Chain A
């Protein structure tokens, strides 16, 4: 391997002795992007929530903007009446647990409390999960889930229907704002989710629920 490594690096160094003829971008490119992105960014949290909702709905997700965790629980009760779930998988996040505690007539289990092997077996057959996202990206309707946190990321993807709680304070205008956060250097394993899983591999016909969830419901909690 060392031989291959040294050989490749030597080839690359030799190649780079030839001058590059790739054109340079105009000097003000980054500034122009920043200015236009800033102009398109909503001014406040409510604006970000509205933008997030619009984008998530564009990609066949559902989204509700709710005033508090209690209102989120009420909304969930209403949604579960329409699509009953005998058992909910939770991701181990305190907010998911707090909202789940308010639901009557639904049993739930904390996936993060199970050993990983047990979790692998129990999560896929569970049709519904209640989870909490680390961040939301408003301009694309994207949920961000860090695998470094002490909770189950699998529960965001393995069940067929996912109810995701998103505190409005975690809404960011765009991806650039996420990677520029001070703690971004510590991000290691992350999944970003935009709408339910999908495929258009047969005649470009869109079908939801490819290998992941068929239904994604986001509950933005403004409080």
Chain B
């Protein structure tokens, strides 16, 4: 598939026509929401945790230069090699040079959205380096050459029947739709790769500036094997993932698993603070950390939209979003999807490429209510929509329509005639048919105009209104 928002309209049409997709997405999102709600109920200080996490992110982002320097200094003290990349291309170059220098032939990866920004698997494959996703969901979508359709559940759009067929076709194993059997197939294949890979690549959930360490959360233990077994570890991290110190971490480790999967704690949490110690001999000989900007500093420059960098990638806003529930993740056309995705797409890719994204929302506010770090997504979407218009990236029909409406609305007499006309004209249509509206009317019926108009109906209501209130007022006065 093309991973570009310019295909958004096509993807949306395809997704809306796919009832099987809607069923899969609905089942997964409703399950996740229910599990989350159960756990939130067990934490009476949930709202305070949300405030605290937001405050920690605010503190870090508002002083990001200072924390970046402190983090780099402490990583180096711990023996972590720090690399910096301005954009995706520079990041790919650094990674390839590192791999060539260290003679890396094969890579195992644990789930990382930041590496999806780099389209790393395709890049490595083009450079003859085997790169294998090890999270079960990521492994499945990699077999299909797709990107994840959810921030935390990459194969959420697929059913067990789909996965059974994919394994049968791509891996040549007998067809089964038993999830346990499918897992065992993936486990057996990947265990060999963990033991033989030269490098493990992970993302970073949080990085602690004062300690010079970072953490990775996961459930499958694939992260443990990715970090622990290969001789070199590379972590790719967006510069916004910093928090001041280890003491700031606990609230996030409560909020993230509850919001993402309805767990009180993830099955595995790794804190990585350098290469292996001589005392155990376990862990990588070298740890490299790539700090990626790729548009984040541009987002930081807007004092309001800066808040979108607080995201901890839990995916809760996707689960609760009425739009995401209808179309799934691929319709958004990029690495980040759902409510947080549509704030990030135009900011990362520019208003021209991401012009549709901010409109994929009903602005119902559910995303803000559920966000564990209190990102006011609807508020930011309004600003981003405004930017799309101000930068001249709205469609010419939309511009024309709003200009026309603006003119009409400021000329009441002409407005009255213009709104009277369709109701009358409609009577010429046979039967009970409504006006045909290209595009909109293909899959849904447009209601018929009342013929009387709001103004007439309102005036008529005023006339017929029982006189109780005014007569009561008169009585009271007398």
Q: A212 near B: Cβ within 8 Å?
A: yes
A188 touches B134 (CB 8 A): no
- Chain A residues positioned under 8 Å from B351 (CB to CB): none
What is the distance, in angstroms, from A184's C-beta to the closest C-beta of chain B? 6
Q: A80 near B: Cβ within 8 Å?
A: no
- How many residues of B are in contact with the other chain, CB < 8 A? 101
Q: B6 near A: Cβ within 8 Å?
A: no
A153 touches B228 (CB 8 A): yes
What is the distance, in angstroms, from A20's C-beta to the closest C-beta of chain B? 5
Q: A202 near B: Cβ within 8 Å?
A: yes
Q: B159 near A: Cβ within 8 Å?
A: yes
* Interface footprint category on A: 35 or more
Q: Which of B23-31, B320-328, B425-433 contacts A (4 or more CB under 8 A)?
A: B23-31
A201 touches B306 (CB 8 A): no
B306 touches A202 (CB 8 A): no
Partner of B274 from A12, A189, A196 at Cβ < 8 Å: A189
Q: Which residue of A lies closest to B154 (CB)?
A: A201
- Chain B residues positioned under 8 Å from A40 (CB to CB): 44
Interface residues of B in 75-108 (CB under 8 A from A): 78, 83-86, 90, 94
Q: Which residue of A lies closest to B210 (CB)?
A: A185
* Docked complex Cα distance between A147 and B283 (Å): 8
* Docked complex Cα distance between A176 and B25 (Å): 36
Q: B211 near A: Cβ within 8 Å?
A: yes
Q: B270 near A: Cβ within 8 Å?
A: yes
Q: B408 near A: Cβ within 8 Å?
A: no
A-B contact count (CB 8 A): 272
Q: A59 near B: Cβ within 8 Å?
A: yes
B301 touches A33 (CB 8 A): no
A152 touches B32 (CB 8 A): no
A15 touches B280 (CB 8 A): no
* Docked complex Cα distance between A164 and B277 (Å): 23
Q: Which residue of B lies closest to A180 (CB)?
A: B247
Partner of A199 from B65, B220, B246, B271 at Cβ < 8 Å: B220
- Chain B residues positioned under 8 Å from A37 (CB to CB): 45
Q: A195 near B: Cβ within 8 Å?
A: yes
Partner of B224 from A58, A124, A191 at Cβ < 8 Å: A191
B279 touches A193 (CB 8 A): no
* Docked complex Cα distance between A213 and B187 (Å): 12
Q: Which of A3-11, A41-49, A64-72, A126-134 contacts B (4 or more CB under 8 A)?
A: A3-11
- Chain B residues positioned under 8 Å from A14 (CB to CB): 297, 301
A120 touches B229 (CB 8 A): yes
Partner of A116 from B32, B213, B253, B281 at Cβ < 8 Å: B281
Interface mask (A118-150 → B, CB under 8 Å = 1, otherwise 0): 011000100000000000010111100001111
- Chain B residues positioned under 8 Å from A202 (CB to CB): 136, 140, 155, 158, 160, 163, 179, 182-183
Q: Which of B119-127, B257-265, B353-361, B409-417 contacts A (4 or more CB under 8 A)?
A: B257-265
A16 touches B182 (CB 8 A): no
Q: A110 near B: Cβ within 8 Å?
A: no
- Chain B residues positioned under 8 Å from A149 (CB to CB): 279-280
Partner of A142 from B72, B153, B265 at Cβ < 8 Å: B265
B300 touches A33 (CB 8 A): no
Q: B302 near A: Cβ within 8 Å?
A: yes
A20-B303 CB under 8 A given contacts A1-B94, A36-B45, A210-B222: yes
A1-B62 CB under 8 A given contacts A15-B301, A202-B136, A211-B220: no
Partner of B273 from A16, A23, A189, A205 at Cβ < 8 Å: A189
- Chain B residues positioned under 8 Å from A205 (CB to CB): 160, 179
Most buried by B among A33, A116, A199, A213: A199
Closest 8 pairs (CB-CB, A-B): A212-B221, A188-B273, A210-B220, A201-B137, A116-B281, A11-B297, A15-B301, A25-B51
A-B contact pairs, 25 of them (CB 8 A): A1-B83, A5-B72, A20-B58, A20-B306, A21-B307, A26-B51, A29-B51, A29-B55, A30-B52, A37-B45, A40-B44, A55-B264, A112-B280, A147-B276, A153-B282, A153-B283, A185-B211, A188-B273, A189-B277, A191-B271, A194-B268, A203-B159, A210-B136, A211-B190, A211-B224
